[in-house]
Amino acid sequence: MFLHGWSVRALPLRKAPRGALSRAIPLIVLSLLVAAGPAHGAAGKRADKTGDVDTEHMFGFTEGSDIGEAGEKELETDSTGRFGKFGGSYNNVATTLEAKYSFSDYFRLSADATVAYYDIKGVDGLDDRRQGAVQSVSFDARYRVFDREHAPFGLTLSVEPHWGFTDEMSGEPADQYGAQVRVIADRELIAGRLFAAFNIIYEPEQTRLRASGETLRESTLGVGAALAMQVMPNVFVGVEARKLRHYDGLGLNDFAAGALRRPDPLRERYFLSAAWNVQVWGAVAGSSGALDLVNFERHQVKLRAGVSF
């Protein structure tokens, strides 16, 4: 599946769809991250050192490498809506509440819980359902390998195991185990004005449906690239593109589908960001369709809000 979209973020002093294009994304973004070089001087400094921005949630679904400084705490709510599938009406909104703590400038842990609401009617392969459910719990460990203050670009590794109680797509009661592994790179291209990010994601999952006892094993591999520019003080607007591929099995062997700060003492800091992605190209393996609306949705929307202290 190939997705492209836009994102907007407001914060106080801190965040084409052809096969050839999807293959070019990693090369283009890595060139921006590395080849920009040290010519900007202070542009390489980390945002929480310069008092400018935190890139983690600047780009929408694509993430930045910032994790906060030692002792920083953050509470965050993240809502993701997924809409549109073949043969009927599909609406799913999942909201996550997350607590984060940075043990050092280079290591952070967080824990979260997700609740979801499903409104499904007449969708091929899915039972009609209109209900809410506790979807999953998880924790996320992040290690910052490179700091933009001392390296040409920022680089962070993230591992997020999760335990689910419903199937994420259908809402059917299930026992689900999985993890998301994410490689996050970003670069400040123009000091305080223009930022670029690049993500690689691998997510294996095993799901046992309680009603039937059937066990499903699947995995998703994806890359994402994004740009964000400051258009007025503390307001950033950006664009992003993501390429996702779905596999039957925990490995990448059976292809199923593809588609294209350190806060002031006793002072709280807030942020709000929004993103919208649209599937513009993709196909189910063995199908001639222009989109993959079996494994992915036509539209994905994300809204985040948080406070650090």
% of the chain exceeding 70 in pLDDT: 69
Whether 88 maps to a domain, the answer reads no
pLDDT greater at residue 271 or residue 142: 142
Whether 74 maps to a domain, the answer reads no
Domain span at 147: 2-61+143-299
- Calpha distance 167→165 (Å, rounded): 7
- In this predicted structure, what is the pLDDT of residue 307? 72
Q: CB burial class (10 A; 0-12, 13-18, 19+) of residue 253? A: exposed
Whether 119 maps to a domain, the answer reads no
- Structural domains of the chain, count: 1
User: In this model, does residue 207 exceed pLDDT 90?
Assistant: yes
pLDDT greater at residue 130 or residue 233: 130
| pLDDT single digits (tens) 1-56 | 444 444 444 443 333 333 433 444 444 444 444 434 433 333 334 433 444 678 99
| pLDDT single digits (tens) 183-203 | 999 999 998 899 999 999 999
Alpha-carbon distances of 53 from 40, 85, 228, rounded to whole Å: 16, 37, 11
| pLDDT single digits (tens) 294-306 | 666 677 777 777 6
Whether 153 maps to a domain, the answer reads yes
Alpha-carbon distances of 294 from 4, 58, 78, 124, 306, rounded to whole Å: 18, 29, 24, 8, 33
Whether 33 maps to a domain, the answer reads yes
Handedness of CA 37, 240, 140, 201 (dihedral sign): negative
Whether 115 maps to a domain, the answer reads no
- In this predicted structure, what is the pLDDT of residue 255? 47
Asked if residue 94 lies in contact with residue 77, where contact means CB atoms within 8 angstroms, the answer is no
Whether 287 maps to a domain, the answer reads yes
Whether 116 maps to a domain, the answer reads no
Q: Per this entry, what is the length of the chain? A: 309
Answer yes or no: pTM beyond 0.75.
no
Q: Which amino acid is at 4?
A: H
Task: Give the strand pairing for 173-190 and 235-248.
Answer: unpaired
% of the chain exceeding 90 in pLDDT: 48
- In this predicted structure, what is the pLDDT of residue 164? 95
| pLDDT single digits (tens) 212-254 | 999 989 999 999 999 999 988 888 888 888 888 888 877 666 5
- In this predicted structure, what is the pLDDT of residue 234? 80
Asked if residue 76 lies in contact with residue 100, where contact means CB atoms within 8 angstroms, the answer is yes
220 alpha-carbon distance from chain centroid: 13
b/e map of 182-207 (b: 16 or more CB within 10 Å)?
bbbbbbbbeeeebbbbbbebebbbeb
